[in-house]
Amino acid sequence: MRVRLSKTFHFEAAHDLPTFPPGHKCRRLHGHSFRFDVVVEGEVDPASGYLIDYGDISKVVEPLVKRLDHYYLNEIEGLSNPTSENLAKWIWDGVKPLLPQLSKVIVHETCSSSCEYCGGN
């Protein structure tokens, strides 16, 4: 049986988007209550009845959350232009080596805006 699991994480952070046009509101320093979903996919182990323990997902992701929570994202290595797109890839790059079942990262910057990243370039 093939399944897809999702676990949601939260962090608060500030950023500005330096490539936006001068005068654009996102170019100014501002903050968000970010949310992101880590999605894993694979075959359920018939012996255990599950794909992966949700706690194992948390063990991989929580160190990244600690690097992001209550920080200025632009100062974090690899996030000098912390768009949702770049943030999704940054999270992917930090999770995928430790969680090979990763199939998608979804970053929710606001209640109505999100970005999905499924690997690749």
pTM: 0.95
CB 6 within 8 A of CB 38: yes
- Regions of the chain where pLDDT drops below 70: 121
12: number of Cβ within 10 Å = 12
Among the listed residues 10, 24, 70, 116, the single catalytic one is 70
The phi-psi region of residue 70 (left if phi > 0; otherwise alpha if psi is between -120 and 50; otherwise beta) is: left
Among the listed residues 26, 32, 41, 115, the single catalytic one is 26
pLDDT at 120: 81
End-to-end, the C-alpha distance of the chain in Å comes to 29
**Which homologous superfamily is 2-117 in?**
6-pyruvoyl tetrahydropterin synthase/QueD (3.30.479.10)
Active site residue 108: no
Active site residue 109: yes
How distant, in Å, are the alpha carbons of 8, 41, 65 from that of 38? 6, 10, 12
Active site residue 115: no
Phi, psi dihedrals of residue 39, rounded to the nearest 5°? -115, 130
Where do the domains of the chain lie? 2-117
Pairing of strands 102-108, 30-43: antiparallel
5-24: pLDDT as tens digits: 999 999 999 999 999 999 99
